[in-house]
Amino acid sequence: MGYNIYTNQEFKELANDEQINIMALFGNGVDIQLMEYLKSPYRTSYQNFYNYLCYKNFDKDNMIFQKMTEDKKDNEKDSNIKKNWSDFENSLIEIFNQPGWLETEKLTKDFTQFQIEFSNFLNEIITPDMLARLGNDGTEKGIALNSFTRFLGDLDWKNFNKLSFPRKTKLYSLFNWEILNFNYTSMLDNILLLDKQQFDPHPYMVADRQIYFYPNPEDRENKLEEFIDCKNGELIEGYVANPHLNKDTKYSSYLMINITHPHGYQNVPKSMLFGFHNKEQITNENKRPLAKNFLKPYWAQNDKKYKSYFNNTDLFILYGLSLGDSDFWWWNNILNSLLETDSELIIYNYNSNNESDSDTINRFIDVAKKEQLTAEDIEKLHKKIAVVQYDSTSKLHAFKLDYFN
C-alpha cells in the first residue's frame, strides 16, 4: 500500500519529481460544522448521541451506556470532562481499568448493540435530502476545487512564511490527495467530491492539465530565500522578497484525490470502529488480552494499509480533530515524519478559547510523542507546523461551505 506513483504515461508533462502528496485527516468537527450550516437542530456529537439513547430508552443494562451515564453525572460536577468522542473512547479504557472481574462476552455483545444504535442515530439525523443539499451547495460554491487549489489562502502571513510548501509548488505539478475521513458519515465526501460541474479530468483538446493551483491566493508578502550579508564586518541574516509568488500566480497542474474511511461507515454498523490505541493503556496486565476487540489500529490494519504513506507525504493537514489519545497511532506517525523527512503540517484548529498557535502546536506534540523530545526536536516541529485558527464565523477557502468567493 501507499501513494500511487504517477508518471508521464498518465500525465504528459509530469516529471519524476513533480508529484506532491498531501494527506488530509478530518474528524467530527467537520460533521458538526456541516450540521450547523444546514441549520439542523442535531449534531453528531458525543453528547447528542447520549441524549438520543436516553430518548430511545436504550438498554440500561448495557455496560457502555452505564459508563456514559456515569460520565454524564461526573460532567455535571466538572464541565471540562467527557465532551468529545475521544473522551468517550478513553471511557472504554476506564471500563477495563475498573477493579474486579470483567464480563468480556457481555461487553462485546453490548458494544455491538451500541454500534447498531449509533448507526440508527446517524441515519435519523442525516437524511438523503441533507446530503443532496450539501452536494448541490458544494458544487454551486465550488468548494471541492477551491479546497484543493486555494487552501494556502487560509494561512495568515506568519504561518504562510513558516512553510516551505508554497514555494515548492510549480508548473505541471500533480497534487495527489489522500483524504482520510474519520467520520462515519458521508457529509464531507459530498462536498469534496470532484463532480462534473467543478472538475473535468481532460478539459483541453491538446494539453492534459486539469486545474490551476494558487500558491498565494491571499497575496501574502513572502520570502524567497535566506541570505547572509556582510556589513561593517558583521554577518546579517535576512530574506529576499519573492515578487513572483502573489495572488495572480497560478500553476497549470494535475489533481488526483482518494477518499477513505479508516474507521468505517454509518450504513455498515459492524464496520464502525470505536476503541483505543493499544492494550498497554490498560493498567491490569491480566486484562490486556481481553482488549483485542477494542484496539482501533489493529482492526483498521493501520500498519498494513497506511504506514507506508507517511515517509512519502509532503504535507499533512488536520481538520476538525480533537487530537485524543485513542488515535495516537496517527499523531505519532505524523510527528515522526515531521522529524525525519521534509514533510510539513497544517493544523486547522477550531479555537473557542483564544488558544495561541504555539499552544496548539504544543498540544499536538504532547499527544503525539511516544517519549521525551529534545529541545531541538521541539524547535524543529514548531518551525514545520502551521496553524489556521478559526471558528464558526470564520470565512475559509477550504473545507467550509461558507467560502467567501
Instruction: Note the pLDDT tens digit of each residue in 52-79.
Output: 999 999 989 988 888 888 877 766 655 5
Q: Which three cell numbers stand for residue 66?
A: 452505564
3-state secondary structure of 288: helix
Supply the pLDDT for residue 404: 44
3-state secondary structure of 398: coil
pTM of structure: 0.89
The span from the CA of 167 to the CA of 216, in Å, is: 9
Q: At what angle do helices 63-77 and 104-125 cross, to 10 degrees?
A: 70
152 vs 32, 99, 246, CA distance in Å?
A: 23, 50, 12
Supply the pLDDT for residue 335: 98
- What is the average pLDDT value for the chain, to the nearest integer? 87
Task: Find the Cα–Cα–Cα–Cα dihedral 379, 380, 381, 386, rounded to 10°.
Answer: 100
78 vs 48, 107, 322, CA distance in Å?
A: 18, 27, 19
How far separated are the first and last CA of the chain, in Å rounded?
37
Exposed, middle or buried, 169 (CB in 10 Å: 0-12/13-18/19+)? buried
How many CB atoms within 10 Å of residue 267? 13
Q: Which of 187-196, 233-242, 248-257, 386-395 shows the lowest per-residue confidence on average (mean pLDDT)? A: 233-242
Residue 319's nearest CA partner among 18, 24, 22 is: 24
The span from the CA of 240 to the CA of 19, in Å, is: 27
C-alpha R_g of the chain: 23
In the predicted model, is pLDDT for residue 99 greater than 90? no
> What does the pLDDT look like over 101-144, one tens digit per residue?
888 888 889 888 988 898 999 999 999 999 999 999 999 999 99
In the predicted model, is pLDDT for residue 209 greater than 50? yes
3-state secondary structure of 361: helix
Mean of the pLDDT values across residues 22-43?
93
> What does the pLDDT look like over 263-290, one tens digit per residue?
999 888 888 888 787 787 788 788 888 7
